[in-house]
């Protein structure tokens, strides 16, 4: 997706002018790689590193996430027991 550094916006190809320039400032945009020497990186990555690499190999889920998962299991278990008890 073309990016204009002056406007700091991504533009859809249908929103650009016919000559491929920015509709706001008129700067010529390149499709896919931006206007500078930047290269396209994969979504969910920063500076070519994935989120797993950024978090480190010892990254764990936070305690409150684990608590919510346990609470969800207990709640769904209770709903299942009440459903079976009604039938």
For the question of whether the overall pTM of this predicted structure is more than 0.85, the answer is: no
In a domain, 73, yes or no: yes
> What's the pLDDT band for 71 if we cut at 50, 70, 90?
very high
In a domain, 49, yes or no: no
In a domain, 67, yes or no: yes
The pLDDT tens digits for 11-68 are 787 788 878 788 888 888 766 544 444 445 555 556 667 777 777 778 888 999 999 9
Count Cα atoms within 13 angstroms, Cβ side, for 12. 2
In a domain, 54, yes or no: no
In a domain, 53, yes or no: no
In a domain, 51, yes or no: no
Q: How many domains does the chain have?
A: 1
Domain that holds residue 22: 3-43+59-86
């Amino acid at each position: 997706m073309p990016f204009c550094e002056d406007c700091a916006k991504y533009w859809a190809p249908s929103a650009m002018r016919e000559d491929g320039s920015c509709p706001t400032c008129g700067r010529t945009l390149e499709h896919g790689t931006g206007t500078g020497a930047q290269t396209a990186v994969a979504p969910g990555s920063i500076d070519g590193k994935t989120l797993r690499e950024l978090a480190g190999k010892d990254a764990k889920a936070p305690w409150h996430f684990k608590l919510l998962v346990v609470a969800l299991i207990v709640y769904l278990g209770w709903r299942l027991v009440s459903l079976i008890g009604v039938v």
